[in-house]
Amino acid sequence: MQPLNFPEYQFRFTSQSGKQQVFDVVRKRFVALTPEEWVRQHVLQHLSVEKSVPLSLIGVEVQLKLNSLIKRADIVVYARTGKPLMLVECKAPGVSVSQHVFDQAARYDMVFHVDYMLITNGMSHYCCKFNFADHTYLFLPEIPTYEEMVSAER
């Protein structure tokens, strides 16, 4: 897998039926190592190690119902109260972070109502904070820490 725009982390790998797998620290099992999964695993490590998000308060591939369709959010960070704080949409490094990707995440947020959204393809990261009072959002220079997310909770 290609290097990403994250610090270097250690991962556990295995191979099953000739396919490489990586250990997911949240789901506590090996999963297929796809380019998108490679990004997701880096985001999980970054949130945990650099941003002090407890692994127990992270959901991966969280199922949601949007209209009558069942979808899955890549990563959701929760407050200790169970309220979703951040929605993360991961794309493979070769996928551009386009308006279409932002629209997808915004549709998912119609279910979660988070304060923060992170969109990444592993190379480019876009994090924004929503201001629900005036229906705007602010792009942040960096991903907030867990403490910052919790302290800004509505």
- How many other CB atoms are found less than 10 A from the CB of residue 79? 15
Quick: pLDDT tens for 8-32. 999 999 999 999 999 999 999 999 9
pLDDT tens, 52-74? Answer: 999 999 999 988 887 888 888 89
| Any domain includes 105 | yes
Residue 62 lies in a domain: yes
Residue 20 identity: Q
**Top-confidence residue, 133 or 35:** 35
Number of domains in the chain: 1
Q: What is the pLDDT of residue 54?
A: 97
Tell me the percentage of the chain whose pLDDT exceeds 90.
68
| Cα–Cα distance measured from residue 78 to residue 80, given in angstroms and rounded to the nearest whole number | 6
Domain CATH for 141: 3.90.1570.30
- Is residue 2 in a domain? no
Q: Please give the residue range of the domain that contains residue 95.
A: 13-151
On whether residue 27 sits in a domain, the answer given is: yes
